[in-house]
A and B are shown apart, each in its own frame.
Chain A
Amino acid sequence: MKKYFAAFTTMALISAAPFALAASSTDLTVKGTITPVACTPTFTGGDVIDVGKISSADLNKDTNTLVGTNSIQLVVSCDASAKFALNPIDNKDGTSSGDWFGLGLTDDGQKLGFFFPKVLQVKDATTSLDAIKSDDGGSTWVKATDAQAGYLLSFSTPGGTAPIDAEVVTFDFEVDTYIARADSLTLTDEVTIDGSATFEVKYL
């Protein structure tokens, strides 16, 4: 009986408006892939950079001040060879005074500065690779010199710009930490430098 009713309804609709029916609906598509490959990213030398205590008197008044240059190494290890990228996420989004990752806000809501992970070297077990980045989710790639939120960071054969398969890949970064020009900040009390980024593996 129920099936009958359903069929009848369909018929009534059709007779009502064969033209309108095409335009009165739209499709939703949900796509994706579950892959058996698993890659694990690890910061080999620890995942905290401490630039220590910096006196406000040592900050440049009207330009950024570089307060730290630290090397970090990120190793991504997969259980099978795969194409992948790193998706850098700024956990202090909206607090950066530059183009890179934010360091949080002062008590007065001012942007304290930013940190900038420069790519020094990318390599797999045997060879040196080129860093590449994509701002369209992996459709197109260009050479990369840094890690930046909104850009996937991957690797290609030297001179190439297409992601390649690899099992273990090492990324060497130099992280430069900058404090915004001092005349843009209220520094009457101590301010915590509080940057945080997540590097997530994105399977390509």
Chain B
Amino acid sequence: MKRILTALTAALSMSAVTCALAASSVDLTVSGTITPVACTPIFSNNGLVDYGKISRQDLNLDKRTQLRDQFLDLNISCNAAARFALIMRDNREGSAIVNSEIYYGLNFDRSDNRIGLYSLHFDPASTVVDAWPEVYRTDSTTGGRAWSTSRSSPIPIGAQSYLGFTDVAGSTAGPVAIQNLSSRVTLVTVIAPTSTLDLSDDATLDGSATLEVVYL
């Protein structure tokens, strides 16, 4: 928060200076929109998935182990229909055993080994939006400039790619305005081979991510 404040101050002082300098000046434009729309995402169970205690003997020694899938209900309600997309930031960045924007880390064990990864999957078939008869998903790797052809297959959410929803099949027009969305999302967790972990004592799974609504 503090760092963000500093950045903002810098921007303001820069625009102030512009006026004082005549010909040798260059403009910096800070643009944006203040929107009255507010969308609130809420996960069931306060967004907590707890795998409890897992014995090392139930995990593979030399290869990764996928744990049982877990499910959460995500509800997003907006005070008016809005075009938005979703991203999810990893608060344990760099700790996933596979480096990809769809894989989130479970933090490190006592010897700084990566414990595993998880991903969060959206299935249009398990998603209900307003009164839409069908839901399709689309995503954008360009910050909302271009959108993939909308389809009904499941997709994992990413830390950079925008994930959006539309009621039009095969569309590249991007997300359609939504007031209420509810989706049963699937959490898939994979643990590193135990031969790569320090299990001289308990190792703690400690994943944390933040799902964000991006207004388009």
Contact of A30 with B41 at beta-carbon distance under 8 Å, contacts A11-B4, A14-B4, A35-B56 already known: no
Q: Is the interface of A mostly helix, strand, loop or mixed?
A: mixed
Q: Which of A17-25, A49-57, A92-100, A105-113 contacts B (4 or more CB under 8 A)?
A: A17-25
Task: List the B residue with the shortest CB-CB distance to A10.
Answer: B4
Q: Which of A118-126, A166-174, A196-204 contacts B (4 or more CB under 8 A)?
A: A196-204
Is A39 engaged at the interface, CB distance under 8 Å to the other chain?
Answer: yes
Inside 8 A of B80's CB, which chain A residues have their CB?
Answer: none
> A15 and B32: CB pair below 8 A?
yes
Which positions 1-37 of chain A face chain B at CB distance < 8 Å? Answer: 7, 9-17, 19-20, 23-37
> B7 and A7: CB pair below 8 A?
yes
Inside 8 A of A15's CB, which chain B residues have their CB?
Answer: 8, 30, 32
State the Cβ distance, A135 to closest chain B Cβ, in Å. 15
Task: List the A residue with the shortest CB-CB distance to B118.
Answer: A30
Contact of A34 with B197 at beta-carbon distance under 8 Å, contacts A27-B47, A28-B47, A29-B47 already known: yes
Is B57 engaged at the interface, CB distance under 8 Å to the other chain?
Answer: yes
Place the interface of chain B in its size category. Answer: 35 or more
Is B212 engaged at the interface, CB distance under 8 Å to the other chain?
Answer: yes
Task: List the A residue with the shortest CB-CB distance to B106.
Answer: A30
Inside 8 A of A201's CB, which chain B residues have their CB?
Answer: 55
> A32 and B50: CB pair below 8 A?
yes
Is A187 engaged at the interface, CB distance under 8 Å to the other chain?
Answer: no
Inside 8 A of A33's CB, which chain B residues have their CB?
Answer: 51-54, 202-205
Contact of A9 with B143 at beta-carbon distance under 8 Å, contacts A29-B207, A34-B203, A39-B55 already known: yes
Task: List the B residue with the shortest CB-CB distance to A5.
Answer: B143
Inside 8 A of A11's CB, which chain B residues have their CB?
Answer: 4, 7-8, 11, 30
> A29 and B208: CB pair below 8 A?
yes
Q: How many residues in A have their beta carbons less than 8 Å from beta carbons of B? A: 36
> A32 and B33: CB pair below 8 A?
no
Inside 8 A of A7's CB, which chain B residues have their CB?
Answer: 7
Bound CA span A40–B191, Å: 21
> B55 and A28: CB pair below 8 A?
no
Contact of A34 with B191 at beta-carbon distance under 8 Å, contacts A11-B7, A27-B209 already known: yes
Inside 8 A of A142's CB, which chain B residues have their CB?
Answer: none
Inside 8 A of B115's CB, which chain A residues have their CB?
Answer: 34
Contact of A26 with B43 at beta-carbon distance under 8 Å, contacts A17-B35, A32-B54 already known: yes
Residue in contact with B49 in the complex, picked from A16, A24, A31, CB distance below 8 Å: A31
Bound CA span A16–B120, Å: 28
A-B contact pairs, 26 of them (CB 8 A): A13-B32, A15-B8, A15-B32, A19-B38, A24-B40, A24-B215, A25-B41, A26-B43, A26-B210, A27-B208, A27-B209, A28-B72, A28-B207, A28-B209, A29-B208, A30-B51, A31-B48, A31-B204, A32-B50, A32-B54, A33-B53, A34-B56, A34-B59, A34-B204, A35-B55, A203-B54
B residues at A contact (CB < 8 Å) = 4, 7-8, 11, 30-35, 37-43, 46-57, 59, 72, 88, 91, 104, 106, 115, 118, 120, 143, 187, 189, 191, 194, 197, 199-213, 215
